[in-house]
Amino acid sequence: NYLVYQDYASQMVALVMKPKKKDKILDMCSAPGSKAFHIASLLENDCSITACDIYEHKTKLIEDEAKRLGVTCIKTITCNSALYDFNELYDCVLLDAPCSGLGVMKHKCDLKYHITFKDIEDIIILKKSLLGKASKVVKTGGILVYSTCTINKQENEEMIKYFLKKHKEFEIIETKNYLPTDKHDGFFICKMIKK
């Protein structure tokens, strides 16, 4: 079995990124790894992907899935990506950021009963920190893709506005915004280049 389930809107992340063979790619919040596997598949394992997650059992899950799928270009790091010293620059950085998940409520129904405004405020602080780190590890001329599975403008458009105000070396190439339908989840994707 060499298949991984991924929602249509989620699949668009790798397609919007458009990585190239030989690229060095950082997936900052990778687990369960479906976007990293998709990138590896598109590039036929001819790249280097560093997949990070804060929990060891989740990086182990990525490693196990990579073995099952025959993906050989992924190495994992168990870390808080906002604080970790990567000590290198990447051609492409993917920040599929922790979010409120308001775009995936059709299959995570309990979210509506548990998510609070305080949770969203905390998530926004974390996103700012993760984006700040992402800005430092993209090489000049490299690509930063920011994505979320929420439809909350504070976490999406407003977050990008905040980021670009602080990091004028970045410029938007493409933005995609999917509202949830019966065919796909709600999703936000923003591709930026570091000038």
Question: Which element (helix H / strand E) includes 134?
Answer: helix 117-137
Name 147's Cβ contacts closer than 8 Å, sequence gap at least 6.
13, 94, 95, 96, 97, 187, 188, 189, 190
Of the residues 47, 52, 99, 149, which is catalytic?
Answer: 149
The angle at the Cα of 97, spanning 113 to 13, to the nearest 5 degrees, equals 110
Distance (Å, whole) CA 56 – CA 11: 25
149 part of the active site: yes
Question: Which element (helix H / strand E) includes 117?
Answer: helix 117-137
Distance (Å, whole) CA 81 – CA 29: 7
Q: Give the residue numbers marked as catalytic.
A: 149
